Amino acid sequence: MLSSSKPTLGVISAEPEPIMLDWPATALLIIDMQRDFMEPGGFGETLGNDVSQLARAVKPISAVLKAARDTGMLVIHTREGHLPDLSDAPPAKVERGAPSLRIGDPGPMGRILIRGEAGHDIIPELYPLDSEIVIDKPGKGAFYATELADVLEKYGIENLLVCGVTTEVCVNTTVREANDRGYRCVVMSDGCASYFPEFHEMGLKMIKAQGGIFGWVADSAAVLEAMKVSTT
């Protein structure tokens, strides 16, 4: 019956203009929702940041993650971090600034920003299912030195719903990398956050300016509406 077939197209009410997406060619990309960025004692706090600024993104991401799971959308999580021997951590990154703890130093959630440590893991509220893809990345962008491009090609993905932290750092870097590779990126405004609210705002403006120079911006309600999932 036609009436029981799932719609494959959806229109998201986005800025700078609505965008139509083919759902089977769309993935949810959740950037770095790790304890190291979200919780006290992790990498983000060692840099001098107020980590409580990021908590607001969790509920919107959780709602869209649930919808993605319900509809069978491909879900990809990323984690920024380094190998225990730091062989993938450029000295220019490790030695930078004057953090309270450096990458690789022992902290309250294990070694700072090191794969396998408690702080490197994704927060419990958004924990990946075994069936979901987790990309470990050494840089800010999710394409640099990772298998992400191969994964997207394998699954026939053309569009990315992007959320996570932080808006102007890993989300923006990844969106710029994806845009140059031909992906349509829709960034979830309330599903991203920054330690600096003004950078969050400008980070989103930079994406959608100039006719969507890097992509589109929509809130989680608009994404859920397009996925035909109730927000209540």
Which amino acids are annotated catalytic? 32, 137, 170
Task: Return the percent helix, strand and coil in the chain, to nearest 5.
Answer: 40, 25, 40
**DSSP string of 81-140?**
-B-TT-TTS-HHHHT-S--SS-TTSEEBTEETTBTTSGGGSBPGGGPPPTTSEEEEESSS
Q: Nearest distance from residue 169's CB to ligand TIU, in Å?
A: 3
In the 8-state DSSP scheme, what is residue 47?
T
Figure out which of the listed residues 15, 27, 28, 37 binds ligand TIU, where binding follows CB under 6 A: 37
Contact range with ligand TIU by CB under 6 A, out of 1-9, 16-24, 148-156, 166-174: 166-174
Identity of the residue, 120 or 184, whose beta carbon is nearer to ligand TIU in the bound complex:
120
Q: Cα(132)–Cα(116) distance, rounded to whole angstroms?
A: 18
Paired with 75 in beta bridges are 28
Please state, in angstroms and rounded to a whole number, the distance separating the CA atoms of residues 7 and 229: 12
Binding ligand TIU (rule: CB under 6 A), the pick from 170, 187, 226, 227 is: 170
With CB under 6 A as the rule, give the number of residues binding ligand TIU: 11
Q: Does 143 bind ligand TIU (CB under 6 A)?
A: no
The stretch near ligand TIU (CB under 6 A) out of 57-65, 89-97, 104-112, 164-172 is 164-172
Q: Which residues bind ligand TIU (CB under 6 A)?
A: 32, 37, 44, 47, 80, 140, 165-166, 169-170, 195
